[in-house]
Amino acid sequence: MASTLRLERITKRFGDFVAVDDVTVDIAPGEFTTLVGPSGCGKTTLLNIAAALERPSTGSIVIDGRDMTEFNARERGIAMVFQSYALYPHLTVRQNLGFPLRVQKVPKAEIARRVNEAADLMEIGHLLNRKPRELSGGQRQRVAIGRAVIRPSTVCLLDEPLSNLDAALRVRVRAELKLLFARMGTTTMFVTHDQSEAMTMSDRVVVLKDGKVQQQGAPLEVYRNPANVFVASFIGSPQMNLLPGQLASDDGRPAVKAGALDLGLSAGLAAAAGARSEIILGIRAEDIATTPFANSSKFSARIELVEHLGNSAIMHYRTADGGRILGMEMRDSGVGTGWSGDVHVNLDAVKLFDSKTTAAL
């Protein structure tokens, strides 16, 4: 049965440097939660604390309601997969898989049974007699995961396990991992700096910066409703358009002016903005296009550059005041570099952020 994992008010100091600052993360049974953020944000330190490789300066590690802060990794029942696979090169896949069980002096017959079960789960049964050097990167990764899950564990921790793979293999392996962990139902904490991995693999993401949690939630919720400017710029590719703007009034109706954009505001956004005069306007690229939306406003611009992505393309618009804005078009839109005309903004998707605190309004 899958376990609950709670990192409760964790702080970790290295001398005067605070690597993790009062962080609380709850992971439900069977949930795949990803810690994501730039280098130095504290995500690997948090993972190491959960794995008993580091002690927190303050805070508790709670598994299934029991405080396990003073227990080691084996006592916590933690399985961990490292970035570097950590396979023994002189052992076969079969021997690598069975190694944790041999250390625990599990009977040979039981080791053989569990190795076969793990191999079937990872779909590597045909590789059991090969050495690691004879495997592809994706196959080595599956062996490393199989070795981690072959013994009963409460939680599986994954430390950037895909970072050593090339781009094409990384996409394929992350899909395999998502299916695998969904099938196993294991409570999982995954660490990555790659927001696309976090978005595609997770039930929930925890966005970190400078040792602090910026936002937690389902991937689409974090994408659609970022808590602050950092999350808006870090989550999503391309990143959200973020423009300094001023609140104004058009014929008595609330509006925001940001460079060449002059957009009417909904009553809800206007109320959230309150008496502020300056804000930061946020709009995703997919909410800017050459065709109107159900509720849209428009501005004039010229397409300066097109980044083709296959079925869609990112449009780099140059506005009359010299500003640059990113939009999105489908492959058959009929517009390209050099086009100029009216560009439409989806007013239902506009976000506002406080210009001082950068928090969402």
How far is it, in rounded angstroms, from Cα 168 to Cα 171? 5
Q: Which pLDDT band, with edges at 50, 70 and 90, does 18 fall under?
A: very high
Q: Contact at 8 Å (CB) between 345 and 296?
A: yes
Which value, in Å, is the radius of gyration of the alpha carbons in the chain? 25
Give per-residue pLDDT as tens, 224-242: 999 999 999 999 999 999 9
Q: What stretch(es) of the chain map to CATH 2.40.50.140? A: 241-354
Cis amide prior to 56 (ω within 30 degrees): no
Cα of 85 vs its chain's centroid, Å? 21
Give per-residue pLDDT as tens, 352-361: 999 999 999 9
Q: Is 236 helix (H, G, I), strand (E, B) or coil?
A: coil
Q: Which fold has domain 241-354?
A: OB fold (Dihydrolipoamide Acetyltransferase, E2P) (2.40.50)
Mean pLDDT of 35-51: 96
Query: How does the average pLDDT of the chain come out, rounded?
Result: 92
Q: Contact at 8 Å (CB) between 269 and 350?
A: yes
Say which range, 11-15, 23-27, 227-231, 246-250, has the weakest mean pLDDT. 246-250
Structure tokens that stand for 156 in this block: 């599986």
Confidence check: pLDDT of 136 > 90: no
How far is it, in rounded angstroms, from Cα 254 to Cα 251? 9
Question: Residue 47's pLDDT is what?
Answer: 96
Q: Contact at 8 Å (CB) between 205 and 33?
A: yes
Q: Could you give the strand order of the β-sheet that contains 17-27, starting from the edge strand earlier in sequence?
A: 17-27, 5-14, 58-63, 66-67
Mean pLDDT of 307-327: 95
Give per-residue pLDDT as tens, 158-192: 998 887 777 777 888 788 788 888 888 889 999 99
Q: Which of 15-29, 77-91, 96-110, 124-138 has the highest mean pLDDT?
A: 15-29
Question: Residue 222's pLDDT is what?
Answer: 98
Q: What stretch(es) of the chain map to CATH 3.40.50.300? A: 5-234
Query: Smallest Cα–Cα separation from 115: which of 101, 131, 130, 97?
Result: 97
How far is it, in rounded angstroms, from Cα 253 to Cα 250? 5
Q: What is the pTM of this model?
A: 0.89
Q: Which of 6-10, 78-82, 137-141 has the highest mean pLDDT?
A: 6-10
Q: Which pLDDT band, with edges at 50, 70 and 90, does 338 fall under?
A: very high
Residue 330: strand pairing partners? 312
Confidence check: pLDDT of 1 > 70: no
Q: Cβ of 38: how many Cβ atoms within 10 Å?
A: 13
Q: Contact at 8 Å (CB) between 282 and 345?
A: no
| Percent of residues in the chain assigned helix, strand, coil, to nearest 5 | 30, 35, 35
How far is it, in rounded angstroms, from Cα 39 to Cα 36? 9
How far is it, in rounded angstroms, from Cα 92 to Cα 73? 26
Question: What phi and psi values does residue 144 have, to the nearest 5 degrees?
Answer: -60, -40
Cα of 259 vs its chain's centroid, Å? 31
Torsion sign, CA atoms 23, 24, 29, 34: negative
CA distances, 79 to each of 158, 167, 244 (Å)? 9, 26, 46
CATH number attached to the domain at 5-234: 3.40.50.300
Mean pLDDT of 131-146: 88
